[in-house]
């Protein structure tokens, strides 16, 4: 493949909308879902490390060329429906998600759709964990920032300087300038910036509604998910603390938690060989 970063473009219709994405490699297909601030090309370094696997990475709803508007539904439930529909449409049994892609993956973990999954950087039941770990409530300041009326303007300000700040804060000491430039390009496409902010607003709205209806949820509450899932977290992640994975086994019948040393929030880009080995062992 001549341009590893770009991969091959593909288009697929799932859950009533057209998703555009980048595909890397050949072999067993894996659905790969990106987060914020990011885009599908975040998986290009993993593609360099994985052989015999085809990574299919769509732009999430509302990002870049994938359809969406600020008034769309960006709740975790909607993202989960997207992930399940994409897995079916792309005829894959395996889902890998990072950040918001992890949130989407959790929503798709039904035994009749996904056989095995791997998530990175966001633990299961994150909404409940926010209340159980006060330090994380403070670390998530950007979530509360995005609830403000001028949040989209703040995100776009000074050539998306906030994106530079988040990469630097979440993965200390890691430089990824070329990829960050690509991400900024995606955020300038259409309504991507307001759509990305809407993800956080819809998540908070769903969480507040749940608290009003049922009170603060216990992170250990609910039936365990049946899909065997690998949970990867950067040991030096300053976005979501690795301590939030201490109770992850309560959310699954079968799971494995791996803390990747010398890596922050973007662990799949910081330590791609290590992450690829873990993914190959779990999914391959």
- Provide the whole-model pTM: 0.96
168 burial type by CB count under 10 A (0-12 exposed, 13-18 middle, 19+ buried) = middle
**What's phi and psi for 144, nearest 5 deg?**
-70, -35
Half-sphere exposure of 37 (CA within 13 A, CB side): 32
Where do we find the tokens 């950040």?
99
Cβ 120 vs Cβ 98: under 8 Å: yes
Answer whether residue 122 is part of any domain: yes
Instruction: Write down the pLDDT at residue 211.
Output: 78
Per-residue model confidence as pLDDT tens for the chain (284 residues): 334 567 899 999 999 999 999 999 999 999 999 999 999 999 999 999 998 999 999 999 999 999 899 999 999 999 999 999 999 999 999 999 999 999 999 999 976 889 999 999 999 999 889 888 999 999 999 999 999 999 999 999 999 999 999 999 999 999 999 999 999 999 999 999 999 999 999 999 998 888 778 776 777 678 899 999 999 999 999 999 999 999 999 999 999 999 999 999 999 999 999 999 999 999 97
Answer whether residue 180 is part of any domain: yes
Q: Alpha-carbon distance 169 to 182, whole Å?
A: 19
Cβ 248 vs Cβ 124: under 8 Å: yes
CATH of the domain at 196: 3.40.50.1820
Q: Which has the closest alpha carbon to 63: 30, 98, 39?
A: 39
Q: Alpha-carbon distance 55 to 47, whole Å?
A: 7
> What's the start-to-end Cα distance of the chain, in Å?
22
Instruction: Write down the pLDDT at residue 1.
Output: 31
Answer whether residue 2 is part of any domain: no
The whole domain housing 30 covers 8-283
Cβ 8 vs Cβ 1: under 8 Å: yes
Total structural domains in the chain? Answer: 1
Taking the CB of residue 98, how many other CB atoms lie within 10 A of it?
29
Answer whether residue 182 is part of any domain: yes
For β-strands 94-98 and 28-33, DSSP reports them as: parallel
Answer whether residue 150 is part of any domain: yes
Taking the CB of residue 70, how many other CB atoms lie within 10 A of it?
15
Answer whether residue 1 is part of any domain: no
Cβ 227 vs Cβ 115: under 8 Å: yes
Where do we find the tokens 């072999």?
27
Instruction: Write down the pLDDT at residue 194.
Output: 97
Answer whether residue 279 is part of any domain: yes
Q: Alpha-carbon distance 134 to 267, whole Å?
A: 24
Answer whether residue 171 is part of any domain: yes
Helices (H), the chain: 44-49, 76-89, 100-107, 126-132, 134-139, 141-145, 151-170, 177-187, 192-214, 267-270, 272-283
């Amino acid at each position: 493949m001549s341009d590893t970063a770009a991969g091959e473009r593909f288009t697929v219709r799932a859950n009533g909308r057209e998703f555009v994405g980048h595909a890397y490699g050949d072999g067993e297909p894996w659905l790969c879902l990106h987060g914020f601030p990011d885009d599908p090309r975040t998986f290009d370094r993993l593609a360099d490390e994985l052989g015999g696997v085809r990574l299919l990475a769509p732009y999430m709803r509302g990002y870049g060329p994938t359809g969406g508007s600020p008034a769309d539904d960006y709740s975790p439930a909607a993202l989960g429906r997207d992930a399940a529909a994409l897995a079916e449409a792309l005829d894959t049994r395996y889902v890998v998600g990072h950040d918001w892609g992890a949130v989407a993956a959790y929503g798709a973990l039904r035994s009749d759709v996904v056989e095995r999954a791997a998530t990175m950087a966001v633990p299961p039941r994150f909404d409940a964990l926010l209340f159980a770990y006060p330090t994380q409530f403070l670390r998530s300041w950007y979530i509360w920032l995005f609830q403000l009326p001028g949040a989209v303007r703040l995100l776009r300000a000074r050539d998306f300087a906030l994106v530079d700040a988040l990469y630097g804060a979440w993965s200390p000491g890691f430089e990824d300038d070329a990829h960050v430039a690509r991400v900024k390009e995606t955020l300038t496409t259409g309504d991507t910036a307001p759509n990305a902010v809407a993800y956080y607003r819809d998540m908070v709205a769903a969480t507040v509604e749940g608290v009003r209806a049922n009170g603060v949820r216990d992170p250990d509450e609910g039936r365990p998910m049946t899909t065997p899932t690998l949970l990867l977290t950067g040991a030096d992640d300053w976005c979501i603390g690795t301590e939030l994975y201490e109770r992850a086994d309560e959310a699954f019948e079968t799971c494995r938690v791996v803390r990747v040393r010398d890596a922050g929030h973007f662990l799949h880009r910081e330590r791609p060989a290590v992450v690829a080995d873990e993914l190959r062992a779990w999914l391959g």
